């Protein structure tokens, strides 16, 4: 991999980190209404996977979707404005954190229903096939979602029709409070791939290069008409399921261990530093630049107007015929 | 040139014409391929369009509607078949939370040109899980259009328009109507969504009927003709969007209203029509509105029970006589 490509991945991870840290802070201050599900700690999965994709490839996301959109090239101003419920947001304030989307970037939406992205992902996969393009779809979903029927139906259909879909499982060990050990009869999400006769692999989801490499292989298969792949990227969410979650289901020591020794950004920075691909000063300058960008997004969101109440009535139908 | 074809053939022609016209129209569902559909609606299409555009899915209703949603959002025009309307329950999240809301949640940036075809209705002893008329569910979900044609002519013109519509359309086909024949032009035509049709003009009483009940209302009207009661039968054809104008114009003329549908009366779409008339046409009414609907029970199996469940022409006659009384 080229140096530039790796530095770009680091930049994207830092962008997610800084954006999410600020979002957590703004939510605590009461600036952001509704729910916020933070992506902190899982940055390597979104960035490793999306760095393989082109702009016209598709992704489906989850309720924890900010990182996916940033990794796919999302605009921080429109994102922050959407979280604030402002008119200038990605969805004109109609979607919020859980429904943020950018169809121009192939980002088919965060989703408030766990496991709902998978059937949509086979739909974009079918669409690419019917239209004769080689667009791939990466479908992000959690360990909890893999217990839903949508997982079974989607992997089965994707396999029998050889759809160009990569099922990217973000196994962060907990479905809200229920640990993966207590919710699944098999040790790994990837064990389930054998039921669909597709490749299934478990990787270190906090190693961005490992995610990138596994996705590269899976996307190649997808574009070649060889069908889907199930990748289980093992990771950890640093925050609770939602902001305000008391997280009584796991120990503070466990969280600290992941933060201290398995921080995906720190691990990647160390790797780049060791190989002299970046300097500490360069990292600091990247951080500073991104912090400025995030602050600009906050300013943009705060200064943007709310939508007019009557706009509630718009965007229900194309042509508003009903 | 008119010719008589069945409701089923009319649907088949609409699908075939639209698939010929637009290569992005793709049809999928359970047994729609070589088998030609559980009711035979898609017969011949597999041979004509091949396995890439006529796709047999596994028994995976969630996947079927998900395919439609993801496909529609990314440039194809899916026509998904759910076989029996009752199976919508299995795929409800994809209809309720995905198809219906994507455009709105994304601030108008998504476009979901998809059609979900479902066979509904009682009358063939298919019992409680294969006979329901659940149209009211879908009319209650903003973002969906709901189309419920009663004749071969309507079903063809409305299905073609539904496939060309850029919104998710719930398209309801009454399974007893599949075998009913009627006049359909040889030449291509479209019928707009949101326009009802007066199936029979009359001056004394308005019967607003949907789907299968249009035929029963016409039967009731012809019985009453002998008694000197002139019945107007209005078929809204699409429930969302609803042609309120055609309903209110008829009510204005007659001042007397019977509403009939096969679904259970409680919270049925007739309640919405009655409320619309009460809100916007109350001064025209000479008598309270009467609803003639299915019983508030699951659909029973045994033929005499099922016939008791389904509103019959004679029930509509009774309803009309009631609103005609002083």
- Tokens representing A242? 């939602």
The nearest CA of chain B is from the CA of A277 a distance in Å of 39
> Which residue has 């006659």 as its token pair?
B317
Pick from A134, A191, A202, A195: which is nearest to A168 by CA?
A202
Domain residue spans of chain A: 3-320
Q: What is the per-residue pLDDT for A185?
A: 95
Instruction: Tell me what the mean pLDDT of segment A266-273 comes to.
Output: 98
The nearest CA of chain A is from the CA of B318 a distance in Å of 34
Instruction: Specify whether B163 is located in the same domain as B242.
Output: no
Whole-angstrom CA distances from A222 to A164, A189, B70 are: 4, 20, 17
Residue B91 per-residue DSSP state: G
Instruction: Specify whether B162 is located in the same domain as B40.
Output: yes
The pLDDT > 90 percentage for chain A reads 98
Other beta carbons less than 10 A from residue A256's beta carbon: 11
- Tokens representing B206? 């308005």
Instruction: Specify whether B8 is located in the same domain as B118.
Output: yes
- Tokens representing A109? 């939406």
d(CA B88, CA B213): 22
Read off the pLDDT of residues B140-196 as tens digits, 9 standing for 90 and up: 999 999 999 999 999 999 999 999 999 999 999 999 999 999 999 999 999 999 999
Q: What is the three-class DSSP state of B127?
A: coil
Residue A60 per-residue DSSP state: E
Read off the pLDDT of residues B227-258 as tens digits, 9 standing for 90 and up: 999 999 999 999 999 999 999 999 999 999 99
Q: Are B66 and A101 within 8 A, CB to CB?
A: no
Read off the pLDDT of residues B189-233 as tens digits, 9 standing for 90 and up: 999 999 999 999 999 999 999 999 999 999 999 999 999 999 999
Q: How confident is residue A322, by pLDDT bands cut at 50, 70 and 90?
A: low
Instruction: Specify whether B292 is located in the same domain as B162.
Output: no
* B166 occurs within a structural domain: yes
Q: Which residues of B are tagged catalytic?
A: 130
Question: Per mean pLDDT, which of A178-182, B312-316, B322-326 is the most reliable?
Answer: B312-316
Q: Are A101 and B60 within 8 A, CB to CB?
A: no
Residue of A nearest to B63 (CA): A119
Strand ranges in A132-227 using DSSP code E only, listed in sequence order = 137-142, 165-171, 174-175, 178-179, 200-204
Question: In the listed set B185, B220, B249, which residue is the last one of a domain according to the structure?
Answer: B185
d(CA B211, CA B192): 17
Is residue A231 within 8 A of residue A166, CB to CB? The reply is yes
The nearest CA of chain A is from the CA of B111 a distance in Å of 7
* B191 occurs within a structural domain: no
Is residue A66 within 8 A of residue A97, CB to CB? The reply is yes
Residue of B nearest to A91 (CA): B107
A261: CB partners within 8 A, 6+ apart: none
Instruction: Specify whether B205 is located in the same domain as B165.
Output: no
Q: What is the per-residue pLDDT for A320?
A: 72
Task: Name the domain count of chain B.
Answer: 2
Instruction: Specify whether B232 is located in the same domain as B210.
Output: yes
Instruction: Tell me what the mean pLDDT of segment A232-258 comes to.
Output: 95
Instruction: Tell me what the mean pLDDT of segment A252-269 comes to.
Output: 97
Is residue A64 within 8 A of residue A226, CB to CB? The reply is no
Q: Are B70 and A127 within 8 A, CB to CB?
A: yes
d(CA B72, CA B166): 9
Does 3.40.50.300 match the CATH number of domain A3-320?
Answer: no
Chain A residues in contact with B78 (beta carbon < 8 A)? 123
Instruction: Tell me what the mean pLDDT of segment A147-168 comes to.
Output: 98
Is residue A264 within 8 A of residue A13, CB to CB? The reply is yes
DSSP A9-30: HHHHHHHHHHHHHHHHHHHHTT
* B167 occurs within a structural domain: yes
- Answer yes or no: is pLDDT of A321 > 90: no
Strand ranges in B104-160 using DSSP code E only, listed in sequence order = 115-120, 145-147
Q: What is the ipTM of this complex?
A: 0.96
Beta strand B197-200 pairing with A165-171: unpaired
* B192 occurs within a structural domain: no
Q: Are A90 and B107 within 8 A, CB to CB?
A: yes
Instruction: Specify whether B208 is located in the same domain as B173.
Output: no
- Answer yes or no: is pLDDT of B326 > 90: no
Instruction: Specify whether B29 is located in the same domain as B97.
Output: yes
- In a mutational test of the B interface, the residue from A57, A95, A130 whose CB has the highest number of chain B CBs within 10 Å is A130
Distance from first CA to last CA of chain B, Å, rounded? 47
Instruction: Specify whether B31 is located in the same domain as B154.
Output: yes
Instruction: Tell me what the mean pLDDT of segment A95-102 comes to.
Output: 97
Chain A residues in contact with B110 (beta carbon < 8 A)? 101, 103, 109
Instruction: Tell me what the mean pLDDT of segment A146-172 comes to.
Output: 98
Read off the pLDDT of residues B71-123 as tens digits, 9 standing for 90 and up: 999 999 999 999 999 999 999 999 999 999 999 999 999 999 999 999 999 99
Chain B residues in contact with A121 (beta carbon < 8 A)? 66, 70
Question: In the listed set B127, B151, B185, which residue is the last one of a domain according to the structure?
Answer: B185
What's chain A's average pLDDT? 97
Instruction: Tell me what the mean pLDDT of segment A235-248 comes to.
Output: 94
What is the Cβ-side half-sphere exposure of residue B60, based on CA atoms within 13 angstroms? 25
Strand ranges in B109-230 using DSSP code E only, listed in sequence order = 115-120, 145-147, 169-174, 181-185, 197-200, 205-209
The pTM (predicted TM-score) of the whole model is: 0.97
Q: Are B52 and A129 within 8 A, CB to CB?
A: yes
d(CA A203, CA A206): 9
State which residues form the domain around B147. Answer: 2-185
d(CA A312, CA B107): 10
Instruction: Specify whether B64 is located in the same domain as B140.
Output: yes
Chain A residues in contact with B166 (beta carbon < 8 A)? 318-319
Q: How confident is residue A26, by pLDDT bands cut at 50, 70 and 90?
A: very high
CATH number at residue B159: 3.40.50.970
Instruction: Specify whether B231 is located in the same domain as B318.
Output: yes
Instruction: Specify whether B265 is located in the same domain as B302.
Output: yes
Q: Are B106 and A99 within 8 A, CB to CB?
A: yes
Q: What is the per-residue pLDDT for B139?
A: 98
Q: What is the per-residue pLDDT for B70?
A: 98
């Amino acid at each position: 991999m080229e140096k530039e490509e790796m530095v770009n991945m680091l930049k994207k991870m830092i962008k997610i980190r800084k954006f999410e840290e600020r979002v957590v802070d703004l939510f605590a201050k009461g600036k952001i209404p509704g729910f916020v599900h933070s992506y902190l700690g899982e940055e390597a999965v979104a960035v490793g996977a999306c760095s393989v994709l082109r702009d016209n490839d598709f992704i489906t996301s989850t309720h924890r979707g900010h990182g996916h959109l940033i990794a796919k090239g999302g605009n921080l101003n429109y994102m922050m404005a959407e979280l604030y419920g402002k008119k200038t947001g990605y969805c004109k304030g109609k979607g919020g954190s859980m429904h943020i989307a950018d169809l121009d970037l192939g980002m088919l939406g965060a989703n408030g229903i766990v496991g709902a992205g998978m059937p949509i992902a086979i739909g974009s996969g079918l669409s690419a096939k019917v239209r004769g393009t080689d667009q791939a779809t990466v479908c992000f979903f959690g360990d909890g979602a893999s217990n839903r029927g949508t997982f079974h139906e989607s992997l089965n259909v994707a396999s029998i029709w050889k759809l160009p879909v990569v099922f990217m499982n973000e196994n962060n060990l907990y479905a809200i409070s229920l640990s993966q050990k207590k919710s699944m009869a098999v040790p790994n999400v990837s064990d389930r791939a054998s039921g669909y006769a597709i490749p299934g692999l478990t990787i270190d989801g906090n190693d961005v290069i490992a995610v990138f490499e596994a996705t590269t292989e899976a996307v190649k298969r997808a574009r070649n008409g060889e069908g889907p792949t199930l990748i289980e990227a093992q990771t950890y969410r640093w925050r609770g399921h939602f902001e305000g979650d008391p997280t009584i289901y796991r120990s503070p020591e466990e969280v600290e261990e992941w933060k201290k020794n398995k921080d995906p950004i720190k691990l990647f920075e160390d790797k780049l530093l060791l190989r002299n691909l970046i300097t500490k000063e360069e990292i600091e300058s990247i951080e500073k630049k991104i912090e400025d960008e995030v602050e600009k997004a906050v300013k943009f969101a705060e200064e943007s107007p709310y939508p007019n109440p009557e706009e509630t009535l718009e965007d229900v139908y194309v042509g508003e015929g009903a | 040139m008119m010719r008589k074809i069945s409701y089923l053939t009319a649907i088949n022609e609409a699908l075939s014409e639209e698939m010929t016209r637009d290569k992005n129209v793709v049809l999928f569902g359970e047994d729609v391929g070589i088998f030609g559909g559980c009711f035979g609606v898609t017969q011949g299409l597999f041979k004509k369009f091949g396995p890439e555009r006529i796709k047999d899915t596994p028994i995976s209703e969630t996947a079927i509607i998900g395919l439609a949603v993801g496909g529609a959002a990314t440039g194809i025009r899916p026509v998904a078949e759910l076989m029996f309307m009752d199976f919508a329950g299995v795929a409800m999240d994809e209809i309720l939370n995905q198809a219906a809301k994507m455009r709105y949640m994304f601030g108008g940036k998504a476009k979901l040109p998809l059609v979900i075809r479902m066979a509904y209705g009682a009358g063939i002893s298919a019992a409680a899980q294969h006979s329901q008329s659940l149209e009211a569910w879908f009319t209650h979900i903003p973002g969906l259009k709901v189309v419920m044609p009663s004749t071969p002519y309507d079903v063809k013109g409305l299905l073609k328009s539904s496939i060309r519509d850029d919104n998710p359309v719930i398209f309801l086909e009454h399974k007893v109507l599949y075998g009913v024949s009627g006049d359909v032009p040889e030449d291509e035509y479209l019928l707009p969504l949101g326009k009802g049709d007066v199936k029979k003009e009359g001056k004394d009483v308005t019967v607003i009927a949907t789907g299968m009940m249009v035929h029963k209302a016409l039967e009731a009207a012809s019985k009453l003709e002998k008694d000197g009661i002139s019945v107007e039968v209005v078929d809204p054809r699409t429930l969302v969007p609803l042609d309120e104008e055609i309903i209110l114009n008829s009510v204005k003329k007659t001042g007397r209203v019977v509403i009939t549908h096969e679904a259970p009366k409680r919270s049925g779409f007739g309640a919405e029509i009655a409320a619309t008339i009460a809100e916007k046409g109350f001064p025209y009414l000479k008598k309270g509105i009467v609803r003639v609907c299915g019983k508030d029970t699951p659909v029973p199996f045994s033929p005499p029970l099922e016939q008791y469940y389904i509103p019959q022409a004679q029930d509509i006659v009774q309803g009309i006589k009631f609103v005609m009384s002083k």
